[in-house]
Structure 1
Amino acid sequence: MSTPASPSASATALPIPAAPPINTALRPSSALLRSRISIGCSCHSDVSEREHVRIRVLNNGTDGAIVSQGYQSKVRKTSIHGGTCVTDIERLLAIEEIKQLKARYLRSVDTKDWEAFGAVFAPDGQLDISDDVPGCILAGRENIVRAVSVPLAGCVSVHHGHCPEIDITSSTTANGTWAMEDMLRWGAESAYPNRTLHGYGHYVETYEKAGGQWLIKRMKLRRLRVDVGAHA
């Protein structure tokens, strides 16, 4: 009995089929490449609203391919008193600038930098200290500086402002309320009748923006409590 030939010996080479010719008729023309199908869609985000956008899909005879897409943030505006609108970013920037303004007031009064102190007030600003000095409402930047600087001569003072509540009423006006505490110590040589003062209360203020800068238009020092110590 003869031995059968191995498969490798008996196999014959099969011809490799030629690649089919490219049907150029199926290739999209340049006109088709330029055509787009506009599909409307709405995009939303947990962070902010998104405007209605359009996604352009290339019509190339297949399932379609997205060639461009995008979204734009809708800038939210807040309607405030008098119908004026400011964006949320503008409102937050104004609040931060007013906080910086108040910080300069507190620092300059304690460091006795009277030029910087006067600069936080509008030229026609008012300072109402009638809770400390009955009937005393100071008008004008120069009068405010003079009236505050004289009794604080020879005094070590510490003024703190806390918990600001700031309401932007237009692009150039605002209101604010600050919790406050001040501690003052006069030396023995001072002519001021008190040796110490420890006060608590609120600053109630209005602001205006002029020349790109926020300024204090009116300040009322509203006392809740004042502890004073007289000379021995």
Structure 2
Amino acid sequence: MPSPDLAERIARLEAIEDIKALKHRYLRACDAKDPGEFRACFIASGASIDYGRLGSFDDADGIARVFERIALQQVDGKNVILDMHHAMHPDITVHSATGASGRWTLKFRQVNLLDGTETVTTGEYDDEYVIEDGRWKMSKCHFNRYWSITRPIGDDCRVDQAGAGG
């Protein structure tokens, strides 16, 4: 039998890995334009969301609607907002068996085919996590933008999109 101290350390490490997997599911849902999985990463009700210019919300349903409105836009059956999220440098603190907090650095790139622009942004996520229905979920997700650069994409720029199935 492992000692209680060892069991606690293993449980803490497992929680950290589960929280990392949660954040990665969230990021993949953003880029894959999957509103159901995006919403499922947050608690059922009462999440504190602050995404700066995209808005602040006291429940994840509000940001899920914004996500759908922006990310799912199409022209001629093609996406016109293309996102790439890379979160790194996780700093996760497990406070209890059911609560944790974390910070992540985000590198974000967006191609906006409606405006003909590419934007690169970096900043920091400040998250809180709780266990809900046996899984870690975000109860707080605040994003603080450090800087951003937007530049036009020229007429000579080609953007290829994979069809259904890649």
How far off its partner does 1:147 sit?
Answer: 1.1
Q: Say which structure, 1 or 2, has more relative contact order (CA 8 Å, 6+ apart).
A: 2
Counterparts of 2:118 and 2:3, CA distance in 1: 55
Q: Do structure 1's residue 97 and structure 2's residue 18 form an aligned pair?
A: yes
| Larger-Rg structure | 1
Correspondence for 1:32: none
Q: CA RMSD in A?
A: 2.0
- Could you tell me which of 66, 83, 102 is aligned with 1:147? 66
1:212 is aligned, of 109, 128, 134, to 134
- Partner of residue 75, structure 1: 4
- 1:27-74 superposed Cα distances (whole Å, 9 cap, x missing partner): xxxxxxxxxxxxxxxxxxxxxxxxxxxxxxxxxxxxxxxxxxxxx542
Q: How many residues align?
A: 146
Cα distance in 1 for partners of 2:19, 2:2 equals 27
Deviation at 1:149, TM superposition (A): 2.3
Residues 208 and 162 of structure 1: CA distance in aligned 2, closer, same or farther (over 3 Å): same
Alignment TM-score, normalising by the size of structure 1: 0.59
Structure 1 contact 194–228 (Cα < 8 Å) conserved: no
- Determine which structure has the larger helix proportion and give its number: 2
1:179 paired to 2:114: no
TM-fit CA distance, 1:158: 0.2
Letter in 2 for 1:74: S
Q: Deviation string for 1:159-207 (max 9, x for gaps)? A: 00001000001111100000111000011xx3xx672211001111001
Q: Percent identity?
A: 26
- Matching residue of 1:14: none
- In 1, are the aligned partners of 2:49 and 2:60 still within 8 Å (CA)? no
1:156 is matched with: 82
Give the secondary-structure state (helix, strand or coil) at the position aligned to 1:90: helix
Shift of the alpha carbon at 1:230?
5.6
Query: Which residue identity is paired with 2:146?
Result: L
Once the two structures are superposed, the pairs formed by residues 9-20 of structure 1 within 5 Å of their partners are none
**Runs of 4+ deviating beyond 4 Å:** none
Looking at structure 2, the residues matched to 121 and 194 of structure 1 have their Cα atoms a distance apart, in angstroms, of 32
Q: How does 1:96-135 map to 2 (within 5 A)?
A: 96-123=17-44, 124-130=46-52, 132-133=53-54
Q: 3-state DSSP class of the match of 2:141? A: strand
TM-score, normalisation: structure 2:
0.80
8 Å Cα contact 2:35/2:67 also seen in 1? no
User: Structure 1 regions of 5+ residues with no counterpart?
Assistant: 1-71, 78-85
2:123, 2:116 → 1: CA distance?
Answer: 19
With 145-154 and 155-164 compared, the bigger mean Cα shift is at 145-154
